[in-house]
Amino acid sequence: MVARMSDDQVRNLLLDRLDAVATTQTAQQSGKSLITIAQETWVAFYTPTLDAVSKLPVLFSKQGEALSNFQASFGNAGLLKLFAFMAIAIGAGLAAEFVTNLLSRRWQGDETPSEDATLWSALSFLARRFGRDILGLVAFYFALRFVGLTLLSPAELSFAGPFVTYLIWFPRLGAAISRFILAPHRADLRLVNINSRWAGFLHRNIIGLVLLGGFTLFIVGFDTANGVAINETRIAFWLNTAVHIYVALIFWTARAGLSEMMRGTDPDRSKFDEWVAKAYPYFAVAVALVTWIVVQVLSGSGHIKLLLTAPHYTTMFWLLLAPAIDTAIRGLVRHLQPPMIGEGAVAEAAYKATKRSYIKIGRVIAGLFVVLRVAAAWNLDLRNLAAAGVGERFAANFVEFTMTVATGYVIYELVSLYVNRQLAKEQTSLGVVEEDAAGGEGGGAGGSRLTTVLPLALVSAQTGIIVIFGLLAVGSLGIDITPLLAGAGILGLAIGFGAQKLVADVVSGVFFLIDDAFRVGEYVEVGGTMGTVEKISIRSMQLRHHRGLVHTIPYGEIPKLTNFSRDWVIMKLMFTVPFDTDPNKVKKIFKKIGAEMMQEPLFKDDFLEPFKSQGVFQFDDVGIVMRGKFMAKPGTQFTIRKEIYNRVRKEFDAAGIEFARREVRVALPGGDETKELTEADKTAISAAAGAAVQQQVEQKAEEELAAKAKT
């Protein structure tokens, strides 16, 4: 029948059959319930263990068989020749390494930092030493390889290559890396926060762990090459289990030292950092257990080839290293972060916030790197997880969702980092006057325009980033965001119609900020309400009265705003002296005080114009009113006023000038007979005088209120 078909008919028939097979397989896979999948996973988990236990009696005999096959393939003379040539090659490698170390030590020097060495001098020394170690290992490898290729046959190299790589080169490389990080014999050069006891313990056991892992990989390849399959002895099961148990024992035994190492020396540790430090040893034990379980399930499911490249060791390495990378990130940020801008609580808070932003960005990048390394170890293409048995659409959407969220988070932190750093720079460069320095009267100097606008810009930018990347992330999951956008538009219209007052407040606030009518920290008056601008939002502002009251005023309700703290302030002081005082004498005193204060380091930078006399202001019923004035920076006028009052009082005392006092004189008929007044008469006279004074005070208060109402 096929012979009678045309090419197109055969092609269509073949495609139909392939589609039918694919549909059947998909139906079989999708038809499994969760219970069935769990049962199959459980069987795959315990099957390798039972199989390994059942084959334990033949483990050593089969291993002897592999050794016998190895000996038979080369013969006694061949084995002697093999090991002799390997010894020569290893000796040549060691000689090359020795010469390389001598030359590199001569070129780079071997200066040992003193015990009070800085981080960079210690790091420089350790890097030079690590570089010499690696250079020596490279020389060892190439010399050994050159001699080995010259002396050994391909069959002999198939044994010698893995033997040297797994049992000599890898452990020595691990020892070099461990010596660089832990410096077990030099506590003053150690890069991590751990004592010498635990540093030496970890250094020795890291070498032992690498050696055990290398032996596991070597023996599996050795048995396979010599006629003993992996499933005949299950030696890989026992050695792999030993590796995972060894890892768990190391981290459990050294949990105190590892927690201290993870804690680091940064004084600005967060609660999350403390929690990670305490949980790290237990996390490591859990990683060892989980990776062992994964190996068991994969082995029981028949995915032996997937485990031949030891992806579980790579996974375990990077997962165990991830918290240590986090500690390294915190250490690098601490030493590489630019110095704190300015001084004070604001600068310190901004410095800590900047540090946390750098750490968060580093954590995201490190997390993505670890995920990529683990995926590469298992030969997973994150863009095509369908090849690993995951739904193609779900895989693509999940990866895109993760990358979108990570990108948005990094951008969010970068924007926050930049804005917060600029805000701290502006705030600390202004030298904000403390409330006590302002005498508790308000009217302090405001911040710059950026200090007012940047917080709103930061909130707006953060909100925009969250909304944009949130929608992109939702869209990457395959969800149509068009209805969301339409709903947001309808909601916006509803808000626009139903909250016109809110829209008016927001629009008014935008124009107030564009006009630079006020800034945070300035003293303003809005419709008779006075206070310091303490906080602003997109809808309203908060004024803090100097008595502690907080007034919240929507922008749309501000008819007129008076700013008392912009650029400069003039303060006029009045002093009442008796009628017989010489005004010129008072002028000279004011001039002297102004000149002296302009020379004072505490006040000279706050003056814009010195304190000087304005002459006689008026006469009242008490004496002559003399007025003086000065121009100063906003927020400093009250401190200057206090000092001027103190100095005027001292100078008046030195010059014999008294301040005029309000007096009430009572004219009595027959004034010459006042000495004969009784106590009752004196009491009546005092009451009449008090009533007269009270009447004058009330009259003056009414006049002041009337004058203020007119203005």
Confidence at residue 429, expressed as pLDDT on a 0 to 100 scale: 55
> Does residue 668 sit in helix, strand or coil?
coil
**Angle 361-362-366 from CA coordinates, rounded to 5°:** 120
Looking at the DSSP bridge assignments, the partners of residue 613 are 628
Its CATH architecture, for the domain 569-655, is 2-Layer Sandwich (3.30)
Confidence at residue 381, expressed as pLDDT on a 0 to 100 scale: 67
Q: Distances in Å between the alpha carbon of 612 and those of 46, 456, 596, 623, 649?
A: 97, 43, 11, 20, 16
d(CA 124, CA 706): 78
CB 123 within 8 A of CB 331: no
d(CA 54, CA 508): 83
Return the structure tokens found at 79.
């084995």
Model pTM? 0.62
d(CA 98, CA 285): 39
d(CA 340, CA 490): 47
Residues in the chain where the model's pLDDT stays below 70: 1-2, 7, 10-11, 18-33, 106-119, 340-347, 350, 381-397, 423-454, 478, 480-481, 484-503, 662-679, 681-682, 685, 689, 692-693, 697, 700-701, 703-711
Q: Give the H/E segment covering residue 252.
A: helix 235-253
d(CA 537, CA 554): 9
Give the full edge-to-edge strand order of the sheet including 569-577: 569-577, 624-632, 607-619
Confidence at residue 706, expressed as pLDDT on a 0 to 100 scale: 66
CB neighbour list of residue 81: distance below 8 Å, 6 or more residues apart: none
Return the structure tokens found at 348.
């310190």
Amino acid at 426: E
Return the structure tokens found at 169.
């080169």
Confidence at residue 396, expressed as pLDDT on a 0 to 100 scale: 61
> Does residue 316 sit in helix, strand or coil?
helix
Confidence at residue 435, expressed as pLDDT on a 0 to 100 scale: 42
CB neighbour list of residue 259: distance below 8 Å, 6 or more residues apart: 277, 278, 280, 281
The CB density around residue 119, as the number of other CB atoms within 10 Å, is 12
Confidence at residue 430, expressed as pLDDT on a 0 to 100 scale: 53
Return the structure tokens found at 587.
């002028």
